[in-house]
Amino acid sequence: MITVKNLTKQFKTTSKSAGLIAGLRNIWKPEYQTVTAVQDISFQINQGEMIGFIGPNGAGKTTTLKMLCGILYPTSGSVDVLGYKPSDRKNEFLKQISMVMGQKNQLIQDLPPIDSFELNRETYGISKSEFKETVKELSDVFGLKTILTRQTRRLSLGERMKCEMAAALLHKPKILFLDEPTIGLDIITQKKLRQYIKTYNERYHTTIILTSHYMDDVKEIADRIIIINHGSLIFDNTLTALIKKYATFKTLKLILNQVPTEKTLRKLGLKYEFKYPEITLQVSPSKIAAVTAHVLKLLDVDDIDIAETDLTEIATKIFESAH
């Protein structure tokens, strides 16, 4: 469905030094800099997959997505999406994809969302009956009934985002690109949006490629993670594989019934963080059973919790090590 081979994107920019003289010098002798946003990346995505595309700011995630949907031309390498070369932007190709950008709107701000939907209906050649049915379905799922006829400019960020999402799904795309769709949304709306994306994928077997800085988005939506940093692909596998590779410890959290003595704490033989009634230990996954048994013998425990390493921590670790 999507095949990317040795994809590279470079931008040529002028570098300007500060000051008037430097500004004047730049007129007759401009200094150019080539910035490599994406460097020689290759991957393949199959139909129905849900991909989490993660990386720090400026890593090249959005640039890659924009090359996949034909907004940007690659400097070198090849991209094949649904059998098309995206940069040709053939109508048949564009009718099968959609992109939601958390920071950019496709809805007409001065008009109600339903008017933008109607424009999309004509643009994508959706029949009136299908359109009516889809709008009803999306409206039920996102709870849009009362907001579809309100001026878009007057909607809250969450309401606008739900309408953006609905507008992108009207033509039932085979591939949905989501570029930070939950940015700025409250926790409840984020959760609802994630839930709908998952349901949509299950129902229509739509391929979903998501970039997000919120690891909860990635954890809940994606079943495969692609990590990109400084334009290079540094990881491409399942979430489980990512945790297995990078999560070198699990967090053992205990709620104690009484304050342990210094001597007892020393007997733990591990690094810990203690603030009564909570004690936290980081334990190697292979030793978790033994350590738990050992700790339960030593301490008077009221409650216990074993947590996987947080995805945000893993991501931070990967990005930092790549620097």
Of 157, 179, 156, 155, residue with least CA distance to 168: 179
Residue 191 interacting with another protein (CB under 8 A): no
Between residue 138 and residue 157, which ones bind another protein under the rule CB under 8 A? Answer: 151
Nearer to another protein, 65 or 295 (CB): 65
Residue selected from 3, 76, 78, 91 as contacting another protein according to rule CB under 8 A: 91
User: How many chain residues touch another protein (CB under 8 A)?
Assistant: 35
- H or E element at residue 216: helix 215-221
Between residue 61 and residue 90, which ones bind another protein under the rule CB under 8 A? Answer: 62, 66, 69-73, 89
The rounded distance, in Å, linking the Cα atoms of 13 and 38 is: 15
Q: 98: helix, coil or strand?
A: strand
Nearer to another protein, 49 or 164 (CB): 164
The rounded distance, in Å, linking the Cα atoms of 64 and 57 is: 13
Contact of 59 with 231, CB cutoff 8 Å: yes
State how far Cα 205 lies from the chain centre: 19
Work out the angle at residue 88's Cα, subtended by the Cα atoms of residues 51 and 236, and round it to the nearest 5 degrees. Answer: 20
Q: 258: helix, coil or strand?
A: coil
Residue 125 interacting with another protein (CB under 8 A): yes
Q: How far is the CB of 71 from another protein (least distance, A)?
A: 5
Nearer to another protein, 67 or 252 (CB): 67
Q: How far is the CB of 175 from another protein (least distance, A)?
A: 12
Strand pairing category for 278-283 and 250-256: antiparallel
Phi, psi of 107 (to 5 degrees): -75, 145
Residue selected from 25, 36, 48, 106 as contacting another protein according to rule CB under 8 A: 106
Nearer to another protein, 100 or 242 (CB): 100
Residue 15 interacting with another protein (CB under 8 A): no
Q: Which residues sit at the interface with another protein, rule CB under 8 A?
A: 11, 14, 62, 66, 69-73, 89, 91-92, 94-95, 97-99, 101, 103-106, 108, 110-111, 115, 118-119, 122-125, 151, 179-180
